Amino acid sequence: MVLTGEDTTPYAQEPTKLIQPRSHTAKICIWADLSVDDIDRLNESQNADHIKKVLAEIFHLEDYQQDLKTGVLIDLYYYTVQFARDHSFNKEQTSTLFSIVKKTHEVCIETPFGNVDQTFAYFKELMLCHAVNRPPHSIELFSADEVKSITEYVINTYFRHFKMYKYAFTPLVRLDLSMNYIGMPDPPPEPEESGVVSPESGAPEEGVGGHETPTSEREKSDLMEEPEAKPEESAAKKELRSMIKNYLAEEMKKMKMSVEDQLKTTEDVLIKKLEVVEGATAKKGGKGSAKGKRK
């Protein structure tokens, strides 16, 4: 059983190795992807087309208008920069937020398998690395309110469309099966060319010295009996093939149901996390309004 990517031919000797979901360690990523000069170039214009063009030049994605996948990536980068601009982030905060979103996206698309839990955990660690003053492991670059705003933005824009990014940027996994039958008889060897000519040619068979080689009655009977054994062997193979197909159909059905159950479970977990975040936001807002009434 071999799992291969979409671009791998079914007869390839070395199939593409797919990365399994794994955990990542977060690190400080200020100025990791956007430098000071890059931020200055982005701040020069208020035009969305110009910002996308600058981002395409920085990350060598000039074909974003023709390639749909590159266009999705440019949109992700653009709206991240726009969010930082709307919340009046400074240059350090803009560069860091951009790297957080970019690195979260890279973890998401590194494997075609479901890894929403690992990706979300990595995103939270990235936020903690830039919200707590504990050098050299973390720095206090974002305040508590800014961390809350960034978390809500990333959850509502990226993690709500997690499956879409996974579908657009990861290869399609195909299952190739190769089976060896144990206990099956070996196929009969092909007869060697020894001067025996088929009756259709009409030529006599030649022996030593070019004379005709006599054929005994027993040899003729053996030649006539060989074709009779082939239908029995063919019927056995057909029955075995039918049994294998039925078994594989049942196993694929079970596998499909298992995958659907896993996707549903993952989606339910993500929805619960979103409800917890939204509930906490609503409670904080209610407390603030109550304080205002007391005043």
Q: Give the DSSP H or E segment for 4.
A: strand 2-4
Question: Per residue in 137-189, pLDDT tens?
Answer: 899 999 999 999 999 999 999 999 999 999 999 988 777 766 666 766 666 66
Question: Per residue in 41-62, pLDDT tens?
Answer: 999 987 999 999 999 999 999 9
Question: Per residue in 233-285, pLDDT tens?
Answer: 567 777 777 888 888 888 888 887 877 787 778 778 878 877 777 776 666 55
Query: 264: which residues sit within 8 A by CB, 6+ positions away?
Result: none
Q: Residue 175 forms beta bridges with which residues? A: 3
Is the predicted pLDDT of residue 33 greater than 70, yes or no? yes
Q: What are phi and psi of 34, to 5 degrees?
A: -115, 120
Query: Mean pLDDT score of the chain, rounded to an integer?
Result: 79
Which of 179-188, 209-218, 281-290 is predicted least confidently? 209-218
Tokens of residue 161, six digits: 């469309």
Q: What is the model's pTM? A: 0.60
Contact 60, 115 (CB under 8 A): no
Pick from 86, 95, 23, 28: which is nearest to 55 by CA?
95
Determine the angle formed by the axes of helices 48-58 and 36-43, rounding to 10 degrees.
160
Would you say the C-alpha torsion 66, 68, 74, 78 has a positive or negative sign? positive
Query: 32: which residues sit within 8 A by CB, 6+ positions away?
Result: 95, 99, 103
